[in-house]
């Protein structure tokens, strides 16, 4: 399904994927979940050899799949030379221990796989710190693993990040490390808050969406920048903020880490400072992969994650990306189902004009109409208004200029700050209308 890594120095781990279906998860949906798990495995550098689905009302508390299926997994791992068993749900420490003991094979659950991908993607000090914290919190109840002797030099899926030394640490040492990482993140968070205060007068827009929906590609298309955009999950971990202008309006556009089904709670908590860009934005652009078979599920996952983060009541716009990958009939169906959405292809530049018009409309919803008389000595303020506001009326009153204009609230705050900084004895007369 996915292109193999073509590098003679890289040995792909052979993975067997395991999931369950039942009353709460129909088989077709479970199959799609395993397809996503396969993409996660590929992103982590593994190769899926086979996939197994089991029909169960509830996962077995001791082995997830039950004794009969566990014996089958043992047989398959030997016959197909499997290096790693990867389960689509989170496993308890007991389940992991029992499966590893029976199959003599490394076992990863969904959260462990996602954390491993984050470890391989983390580049900045903030991202590395956040990922290590999440991994250590995930690792604490899972210290007794028969494969814990694997060294960091050996590598492999699930062994990146904190590495061998943390796996062998006792709880007391890990607790101390977690405390130090939290202190470091608090300092980094303070730095981010200072940076955000410096741009608090600008309208802020955040791109959110299920991972691999094309957020970074869309950001590149809108801002003419070169943010990393790959056809892999979680290409972006750190928030990237760029200046953005629509019509005469100066704004900031941020690209954040993508969401995914069952995103580990520890990961959400450790990435709090990164996700603050979403919490503090004025407008959300919810980017959706129009070519996906699970659009409704993905939209629900993103909305639920935003709710868990406490992001409620913000203005948002659904943006269906990758419309070049679907036929016209499917586009018509989506437009009927999501009449307020915008349809784009960031890769091919389709629909970007319509998107920017909708962004302009959303920005102008928060506009206020003001009348000000500005002294000639503060003409810098007049020039600023001509750049960012809609001038409704302009009159000269002696050497002063009387303006009636419509302006975004953040821009009006910038105007007030600007006028206060201009050293002149003249007065500025302000009347709201």
15 vs 243, higher pLDDT: 15
CATH of the domain at 403: 3.30.70.240
Domain presence at residue 310: yes
Confidence at residue 149, expressed as pLDDT on a 0 to 100 scale: 36
Share of the chain above pLDDT 70, in %: 82
Confidence at residue 250, expressed as pLDDT on a 0 to 100 scale: 81
Q: From residue 93, how far is each of 33, 134, 138, 144, 317 by CA, in Å? A: 23, 17, 10, 8, 41
Domain presence at residue 194: no
Confidence at residue 272, expressed as pLDDT on a 0 to 100 scale: 65
Pairing label, strands 390-397, 400-408:
antiparallel
**Residues 397, 356 share a domain:** no
In this prediction, residues 365-376 reach a mean pLDDT of 88
Kindly calculate the radius of gyration of the chain based on its CA atoms and give it in whole angstroms.
Answer: 26
In this prediction, residues 173-183 reach a mean pLDDT of 87
**Average pLDDT, rounded, for the chain:** 82
CATH of the domain at 290: 3.40.50.300
Confidence at residue 81, expressed as pLDDT on a 0 to 100 scale: 94
Instruction: Say how many Å lie between the first and final Cα of the chain, rounded.
Output: 62
pTM: 0.74
The model's confidence at residue 228, banded by pLDDT at 50, 70 and 90, is low
**Residues 320, 373 share a domain:** no
The model's confidence at residue 403, banded by pLDDT at 50, 70 and 90, is very high
What domain range is 404 assigned to? 367-432
- The least confident of 97-101, 189-193, 382-386 is 189-193
**Residues 71, 126 share a domain:** no
Domain presence at residue 27: yes
Share of the chain above pLDDT 90, in %: 38
Domain presence at residue 8: no
Closest by CA to 38, choosing from 57, 61, 14, is 14
The model's confidence at residue 76, banded by pLDDT at 50, 70 and 90, is very high
Confidence at residue 63, expressed as pLDDT on a 0 to 100 scale: 94
**Residues 399, 355 share a domain:** no
Closest by CA to 258, choosing from 283, 238, 244, is 238
Chain centre distance of CA 75: 39
- Taking a C-beta distance cutoff of 8 angstroms, is the pair 9, 2 a contact? no
- The least confident of 21-35, 129-143, 157-171 is 157-171
Domain presence at residue 223: yes
Q: For 99-151, what is each residue's pLDDT tens digit?
A: 999 999 999 999 889 888 888 877 777 778 888 888 888 877 776 544 443 33
Confidence at residue 119, expressed as pLDDT on a 0 to 100 scale: 83
In this prediction, residues 23-38 reach a mean pLDDT of 90
Report how far residue 357's alpha carbon sits from residue 354's, in angstroms, rounded to the nearest whole number: 5
E strand or H helix that includes residue 329: helix 328-337
Q: Which of 189, 221, 238 is the last residue of a domain?
A: 189
**Residues 334, 217 share a domain:** yes
Chain centre distance of CA 266: 15
Q: For 203-219, what is each residue's pLDDT tens digit?
A: 889 999 998 899 989 99
Domain presence at residue 7: no
Closest by CA to 236, choosing from 272, 202, 208, 199, is 208
Confidence at residue 75, expressed as pLDDT on a 0 to 100 scale: 95
Domain presence at residue 378: yes
DSSP per-residue codes, 31-58: HHHHHHHHHHHHHTTEEEEEEEEEE-SS
Confidence at residue 85, expressed as pLDDT on a 0 to 100 scale: 96
Q: From residue 358, how far is each of 108, 279, 293, 362 by CA, in Å? A: 44, 21, 26, 6
- Over 60: is that where the pLDDT of 431 sits? no
CATH of the domain at 37: 3.40.50.11060
Q: Which of 108, 128, 153 is the last residue of a domain?
A: 108
Confidence at residue 285, expressed as pLDDT on a 0 to 100 scale: 96
**Residues 355, 376 share a domain:** no
Chain centre distance of CA 263: 10
Q: From residue 138, how far is each of 17, 100, 162, 246, 264 by CA, in Å? A: 21, 18, 11, 43, 9
Chain centre distance of CA 180: 25
**Residues 324, 221 share a domain:** yes
Q: Which of 189, 218, 252 is the last residue of a domain?
A: 189
- Over 70: is that where the pLDDT of 395 sits? yes
Total number of domains in the chain: 4
Confidence at residue 144, expressed as pLDDT on a 0 to 100 scale: 54
- Taking a C-beta distance cutoff of 8 angstroms, is the pair 267, 118 a contact? yes
- The least confident of 293-297, 327-331, 353-357 is 293-297
The label of the residue with tokens 């039942």 reads 22
Q: Which segments within 133-190 are labelled E, that is strand?
A: none
191 vs 167, higher pLDDT: 191
Report how far residue 115's alpha carbon sits from residue 162's, in angstroms, rounded to the nearest whole number: 11
The label of the residue with tokens 């002797």 reads 149
The model's confidence at residue 177, banded by pLDDT at 50, 70 and 90, is confident
- Taking a C-beta distance cutoff of 8 angstroms, is the pair 205, 359 a contact? yes
Domain presence at residue 161: yes
**Residues 379, 352 share a domain:** no
**Residues 304, 209 share a domain:** yes
**Residues 50, 18 share a domain:** yes
Confidence at residue 2, expressed as pLDDT on a 0 to 100 scale: 45
Chain centre distance of CA 369: 36
In this prediction, residues 57-73 reach a mean pLDDT of 93
The model's confidence at residue 66, banded by pLDDT at 50, 70 and 90, is very high
**Residues 308, 210 share a domain:** yes
Report how far residue 171's alpha carbon sits from residue 208's, in angstroms, rounded to the nearest whole number: 36
In this prediction, residues 378-407 reach a mean pLDDT of 89
403 token code pair = 């303006």
**Residues 354, 403 share a domain:** no
166 vs 156, higher pLDDT: 156
């Amino acid at each position: 399904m996915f292109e193999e890594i073509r590098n003679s120095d890289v040995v792909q781990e052979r993975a067997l994927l395991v999931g369950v279906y039942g009353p709460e998860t129909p088989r077709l949906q479970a199959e799609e979940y395993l397809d996503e798990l396969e993409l996660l495995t590929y992103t982590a550098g593994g190769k899926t050899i086979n996939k197994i689905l089991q029909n169960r009302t509830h996962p077995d508390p001791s082995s997830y799949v039950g004794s009969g299926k566990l014996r089958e997994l043992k047989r398959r791992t030997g016959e197909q030379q499997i290096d790693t068993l990867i389960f689509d749900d989170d496993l308890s420490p007991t389940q992991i221990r029992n499966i590893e003991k029976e199959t003599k094979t490394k076992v990863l659950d969904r959260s462990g796989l996602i954390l491993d991908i984050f470890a391989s993607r983390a580049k900045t000090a903030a991202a590395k710190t956040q990922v290590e914290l999440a991994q250590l919190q995930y690792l604490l109840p899972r210290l007794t693993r028969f494969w814990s002797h694997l060294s960091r030099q050996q590598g492999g899926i699930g062994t990146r990040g904190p590495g061998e030394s943390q796996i062998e640490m006792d709880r007391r040492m890990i607790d101390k490390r977690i405390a130090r990482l939290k202190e470091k993140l608090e300092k980094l968070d303070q730095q981010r808050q200072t940076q955000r205060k410096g741009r608090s007068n600008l309208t802020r827009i955040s791109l959110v969406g299920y991972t691999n929906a094309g957020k970074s590609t869309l950001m590149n298309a809108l801002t003419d920048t070169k943010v990393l955009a790959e056809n892999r999950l979680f290409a972006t971990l750190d928030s990237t903020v760029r200046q953005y202008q629509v019509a005469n309006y100066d704004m900031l556009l941020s690209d954040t880490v993508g969401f995914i089904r069952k995103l580990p709670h520890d990961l959400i908590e450790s990435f709090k400072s990164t996700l603050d860009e979403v919490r503090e934005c004025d407008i959300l652009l919810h980017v959706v992969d129009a070519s996906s078979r699970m659009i409704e599920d993905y939209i629900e996952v993103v909305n639920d994650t935003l709710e868990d983060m406490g992001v409620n009541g913000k203005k948002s716009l659904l943006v269906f990306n990758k419309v070049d990958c679907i036929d016209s009939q499917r586009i018509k169906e989506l437009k009927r189902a999501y009449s307020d959405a915008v349809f784009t292809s960031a890769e091919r530049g389709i629909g970007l004009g319509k998107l920017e018009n909708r962004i302009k409309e959303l920005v102008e919803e928060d506009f206020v109409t003001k009348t000000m008389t500005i002294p000639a000595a503060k003409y810098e303020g007049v020039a600023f208004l001509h750049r960012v506001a809609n001038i409704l009326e302009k009159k000269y009153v002696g050497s002063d200029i009387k303006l009636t204009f419509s302006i975004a609230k953040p821009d009006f705050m910038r105007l007030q700050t600007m006028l206060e900084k201009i050293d002149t004895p003249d007065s500025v007369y302000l009347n709201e209308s």
